[in-house]
Amino acid sequence: MRMRAKPTRQVSLPYADGDGSVTPWTRGPMKTVGLFAGVGGLERGLARSGHTTELLCEIEVGAQAVLREKFRDVKLHDDVTTLRKLPRDVDLVVGGFPCQDLSQAGKTAGIEGARSGLVGEVFRLLKRHDVPWVVLENVPFMLQLSKGRAMEVIVTAIEALGYKWAYRVVDSRAFGVPQRRERVYLVATRDGDPRDVLFVDDVGEPPTEVVSWRRANGFYWTEGIRGLGWANDAVPTLKGGSTLGIPSPPAIILPNRDRDIVTPHIRDAERMQGFEAGWTEASENVMKRGHRWKLVGNAVTVDAAEWLGRRLRAPESRGRDVASKPLMRTGAWPRAAFNVGEGRHCAEISAWPERREREPMHTFLQHPPKLLSEKATGGFFSRTARSALKFPDGFLERIEHHYERMKSGHTSLEQAAV
């Protein structure tokens, strides 16, 4: 019987040009397994950069319905705890493991929480399989909760498996979407240096923006006492909603004559995460329509995943030039750090790998938004009266104006025009 040769990975190492500069790697598409896949944000972005998905794992039935429609040729497994093996010759395992026990919006139970503790299943599978690359995603609050215990557990487990690792907080606005969404992206590898992927691109933090009412600005109407979630010409982080499945989209103050306050259509929320409009529609076959907000809020921004996918195919050694110093941690973790076999270091790098041009949010919105109701506006307005927060100039006047208009029976939405 003829033995089939194991396929080789397409990797070419950098070489020094005549002027001493370093030519970056080029790497072929990676065979990927997506754990805790949600509605496929990571996998969709990786596909855009040429990678292929061999297996998906997701237990939530609404998300499963989306994955079955959007990744029809990919095997779907339901429960990560019963997944015994990975496909042969897998190059990359990715996962946005459950964050409900880690986020400020969740129960903050920490890494031992029933859901977030499932990241241990990733390590179980990595221990059984020689997977060269790993990408994990989660909320930045994991760097602070319980003095960063979640990150300590994760990187300790990764180090024990023989991986070098780097992580970095990245803001989705860097990729041109009108959503302020910071997430931790961790890249680990046995084959190379994760800094060559994660730390190559950095344009620095943008200058502080001045509030302009000629733009659409977002905030959380569900808050108002301890926080606001203010975002200039963007929405704050889209959330998964409550554990009861009640959607809680952010509010947007439009720059139109009536100063209307609205919540975006779910199809525009999908676009704010980099998906095509209607990406989660298939979930309505098995769940209520409002459940789509949870799916979108828990997703990974597609454009961020696409950037990672491009860098996985074309890493550059200049990522190792990032300013750093040994990590002396007594509390929370820094916003970027790494360990490539010479001890843990914190890195000085921004949350902005790129700064793509962003369309003004009031023209980005393509689907009819919904006026924020009298009840919702009134509840928010009453909370601000008990708050010590400093609100943007003119903000409370606009809230009161909208509240009075809604009380008087205002129902029509004027087209935003500036």
Q: What is the largest CA-CA distance in the chain?
A: 83
CB 76 within 8 Å of CB 58: yes
DSSP per-residue string spanning 127-158: HHS--SEEEEEE-GGGGTGGGGHHHHHHHHHH
Q: Is 346 a catalytic residue?
A: no
Spatial CA neighbour of 117 closest among 99, 141, 93 = 99
Report the interhelical angle of 302-313 vs 41-48 (nearest 10°). Answer: 50
CA 262 to chain centre: 24
Q: Which of 56, 66, 94, 99 is catalytic?
A: 99
Q: Which helix (H) or strand (E) holds 166?
A: strand 164-171
The span from the first CA to the last CA of the chain, in angstroms, equals: 74
Closest CA to 297 of 356, 249, 337: 249
- Would you please indicate which residues are annotated as catalytic (active-site) residues? 99
